[in-house]
Amino acid sequence: MSRPIKAFVDTKALKANLSCVRQKSAQSQILSVVKANAYGHGIERVFEGLKGSDGFGVLQVGEAEVLRGLGFRGPIVLLEGVFDPRELEDCSRLQLWHAVHCMEQIDWLSRHKTHKAHRVFLKMNTGMNRLGFRPEQFKSVWSRLNALPQIEEISLMTHFSDADLPGGALSQQSRFDQFTQDLIGERSLSNSAALFLNPLNHALHQDWVRAGLALYGGSVNYPQQTSNDWALQAVMSLRSKVIATQDLKPGDTVGYGSTFTATQAMKIGVVACGYADGYPRSAESGTPILVNGQRTQTLGRVSMDMLSVDLSPLQQQGQIECVGAEVTLWGAASTGQTLDIDEVAHHAKTLSYELMCGLGNRVPFEVIEDDA
Ligand SMILES: *Cc1c(COP(=O)(O)O)cnc(C)c1O
């Protein structure tokens, strides 16, 4: 048998999460964000579940190319626009909408030869101070862009820095509104957090919402609320198996650095999953994990290819034979029990975003089709 680790992508969960996103913004169109190869799930693997989206948001031309290759003919937005003038050719060829966040991109556009004018999303910096034009410049930039023959339509966008904090999106929204009030064009403001923390707020959500995390089943404000509280379903499950066991005596330690010491006799399991698979090394002893669907905890340091788990809860249930037992690192066990990816991320002092995006190349995937 080959190494037993595997990641699963649940198509039904994607569809359910997409309809949950729609319920939060009934009047808006949804751009499903599939940057970073669909947050690590694989664009090809999530396409079936998300093809009901009104459009897609991507970071790289290559991602847009994959979507066109899958037959998607609707809107695709390059969320950071083009990285060099040559990519404007790709936008023309693939009919991409693209963000415009700096003067250089406008210069490139003004020199771009195309027979079909582009639709762009002019981006305002409302406080993130990453990409976009300052509010006071916005109108003059809009006018300059609007005068270019290469431009067919200008939409307006911003991205919130504090959408996960109560009221966080609202001060940025008011700055955006103030400096765009006499500009025409469709608007796009909200990400998952702005959407879920301000449901049905159309003044905030506007024409296009850009949803990422929620579609993949991550909570926008864990631990205040979990994905379960939001009625979101886990899309990614990471499973492996116990490949060895050890019987520890009191005083025995586990793993590199001997960070865990047994205080009593106990059985531990060694799992075929390590940081090279994308399991966070920052997850210390005590991180929750499922073995045969039963909740237990990790012990000692995560190494490159392995980690260790406490098998005591299984032993108490009379399970003696533990080699080969199924281990769920996050998501759903084959028997249905679940472990919230946000909970694992929280133990590792990171976010579910990072865990989803970080699976190692050596982890094989399986798509669970929706047979409804
Ligand atoms: C990634 C991204 C999103 C999606 O954010 P989530 O928090 O995952 O919903 C939206 N807009 C832009 C510009 C992004 O880069």
* pLDDT tens digits, one per residue of 295-304: 999 999 999 9
* Distance (Å, whole) CA 216 – CA 232: 8
Ligand 1 atom with the shortest distance to the CA of 80? 13
Q: Token pair of 369, please?
A: 């089709």
Where do the CATH 3.20.20.10 domains begin and end in the chain?
A: 11-216
- Is residue 210 within 6 Å of ligand 1 at its C-beta? yes
Is the distance from the beta carbon of residue 192 to the nearest atom of ligand 1 less than 6 Å? yes
Instruction: Quote the pLDDT of residue 164.
Output: 87
Please tell me the distance from the alpha carbon of residue 367 to that of residue 251, in angstroms, as a whole number. 44
Distance CA 348, CA 90 (A): 39
Give the residue numbers annotated as catalytic, written as ranges.
35, 256
Tell me which of 3.20.20.10, 2.40.50.140, 3.40.50.300, 3.30.1490.100 is the CATH number of domain 11-216. Answer: 3.20.20.10
Question: How many Å is the maximal CA-CA distance in the chain?
Answer: 77
Q: What pLDDT shows up at residue 93?
A: 96
Per-residue pLDDT 10s for the chain (372 aa) are: 699 999 999 999 999 999 999 999 999 999 999 999 999 999 999 999 999 999 999 999 999 999 999 999 999 999 999 999 999 999 999 999 999 999 999 999 999 998 899 999 999 999 999 999 999 999 999 999 999 999 999 999 999 999 888 888 999 999 999 999 999 999 999 999 999 999 999 999 999 999 999 999 999 999 999 999 999 999 999 999 999 999 999 999 999 999 999 999 999 999 999 999 999 999 999 999 999 999 999 999 999 999 999 999 999 988 888 999 999 999 999 999 999 999 999 999 999 999 999 999 999 999 999 987
What is the phi/psi pair of residue 104, to 5°?
A: -60, -40
- What's the whole-model pTM score? 0.96
pLDDT value at residue 168 = 84
Contact 57, 30 (CB under 8 A): no
Superfamily of domain 236-368: Lyase, Ornithine Decarboxylase; Chain A, domain 1 (2.40.37.10)
Ligand 1 proximity of 79 Cβ (cutoff 6 Å): yes
**Any residues with CB less than 8 A from the CB of 113 and at least 6 apart, and which?**
none
Task: Pick from 17, 33, 100 the residue to mutate for probing ligand 1's pocket: most ligand atoms within 8 Å of its CB.
Answer: 33
Q: Would you give the end-to-end CA distance of the chain in angstroms?
A: 32
Closest atom, ligand 1, to C-alpha of 220:
7
For the chain, where do the domains classified as CATH 2.40.37.10 start and end?
A: 236-368
Measured CA to CA, the distance from residue 244 to residue 91 in angstroms comes to 52
Q: Using a 6 Å cutoff on CB, does residue 35 contact ligand 1? A: yes
Q: Is 43 in the pocket of ligand 1 (CB under 6 A)?
A: no
Tell me the residue type at 183: L
Q: Using one digit for the tens of pLDDT, what is the confidence trace for 266-299?
A: 999 999 999 999 999 999 999 999 999 999 999 9
Tell me how far the alpha carbon of residue 177 lies from the centroid of ligand 1, in angstroms.
Answer: 20
Residue nearest to atom 15 of ligand 1 (CA): 79
